[in-house]
Amino acid sequence: MQRIDAGDFRSTTQVIAEEFGSDWLASKAEEAKEGRSLAHPVPSAWAETVDLLDKYEQTGQLFKTGRMIRLASLGADLSVARQLPNYHLAIPYRLRNETEFPKAEYEVFVASWWAQAGRTVEFIPRQPDQRTPEMRVITGDIELLIECKSRDTYIRPKTQGDGDFWRALQFALVDLREEKEIGGDLELFVFIPGERDIAVVPEIVTEVRSKLRTGFKGSWVGRQAGYLVRELKLPIQGFNLFLPAWQNPGFVAATVGVDNQGQRYPKDPMRIAFFAIDSHKLSAVGNSFDDARRQIPRGARGMIYINLDVSGLDGAQTELYADLAADSLATRFAPTMNTRVAAVVVTTEPQLIHHREGDREKVILSRLARIKRNPYRSLPDGVSIPSE
């Protein structure tokens, strides 16, 4: 979490100019202004920051934009990371590359985070035809190898075919009521991140069935979705009632019973509600984990950082999604699986938070972080992870 003022912006422009080169920044910013280049985010943000600082010197009023605040965060991280061993072999040539920039920026952030926590950090240069993690962290007499994965920007699909997905999932889950091992009046909430793909409906049903057969109540996360099951306590006055909600359909289904007076009533009702979360699918986050763990040599002790784009979510959804993603990754830990990974850390892209102190408003740049330690290959006592 970082508060940013005019002094920080001045330092930012100097660090960015030293790292990228003033001529390259000015040239790329002009290309973007003319519509000839839009891919790299730094040049335009740098030019905007320089311009607004010039106006601040004249007027005393500093107007802050989201782009320049994000740039200030990068500048602060670079100021730390540039002092670390092997930085110039691992990072600078990638920062100018539009494709490599998001990955390099994230590595700079993670390295800076550990260094500011007082740990010894060293970048590991890439080797041809050899899998290597991004950096080495020394804490006491413990060596940690850290691999970073930054998911691509989440692009909301133009056509999702949600209707077919919801219908298929709705009827498949309702059918569970007919299975003998599943009983009771239930409320089932299903939190589904990412594009809704009808092909994963059977896996979601399998995840639900395995829990309901044991009489489970509570919340859990699977490979495809997050879930909450509890007793349905309120009386149901109807059945097969569809409760429409944008992207979040809900319904109540029940069989029809007849009492001693011949009156019909809903029997074994099940209320099901779906909540769509527009960010990466949990299975895609899991794929990032699988790729990352291969970079850590067998027998070593490593950590995996995964950065997620949550630009399409509000604050409450962001926290829920971060929890779901972290909990889903925790299911990959087992006594004989992934024991080279001591912990996984899920972070979000930086978010702007407006914070008022007295009569002044401060802008805070913050990333959410969720940490899951591996209980089967835990870190030694006393080894803390930044943000814990």
pLDDT surpassing 80 at residue 236: no
Between residues 360 and 190, the one the model is more confident about: 190
Give pLDDT, residue 360: 66
Residue 37 CB neighbour total at 10 angstroms: 16
C-alpha to C-alpha distance for 171 and 236, rounded to whole angstroms: 19
Q: Where are the beta strands (DSSP E) in the chain?
A: 2-3, 120-123, 135-139, 142-150, 186-193, 218-221, 226-231, 241-243, 250-258, 264-277, 302-308, 341-348, 351-357, 360-366, 369-373
- How is the chain split into domains, by residue range? 162-277
Mean pLDDT in residue range 293-315: 91
Q: Is 11 helix (H, G, I), strand (E, B) or coil?
A: helix
Q: Which residues of 144-154 are buried (b: 16+ CB within 10 A; e: fewer)?
A: bbbbbbbbeeb
Residue 353 CB neighbour total at 10 angstroms: 12
Give pLDDT, residue 363: 66
Confidence of residue 314 (pLDDT cuts 50, 70, 90): confident
Give pLDDT, residue 3: 58
Residue 181 CB neighbour total at 10 angstroms: 10
pLDDT digits (tens, 9 = 90+) for 152-181: 888 877 655 677 888 889 889 988 888 888
pLDDT surpassing 80 at residue 328: yes
Confidence of residue 243 (pLDDT cuts 50, 70, 90): very low
pLDDT surpassing 90 at residue 366: no
pLDDT digits (tens, 9 = 90+) for 6-24: 888 898 899 999 999 999 9
C-alpha to C-alpha distance for 379 and 385, rounded to whole angstroms: 10
pLDDT surpassing 70 at residue 242: no
Least confident of 79-83, 171-175, 210-214, 242-246: 242-246
CB 278 within 8 A of CB 312: yes
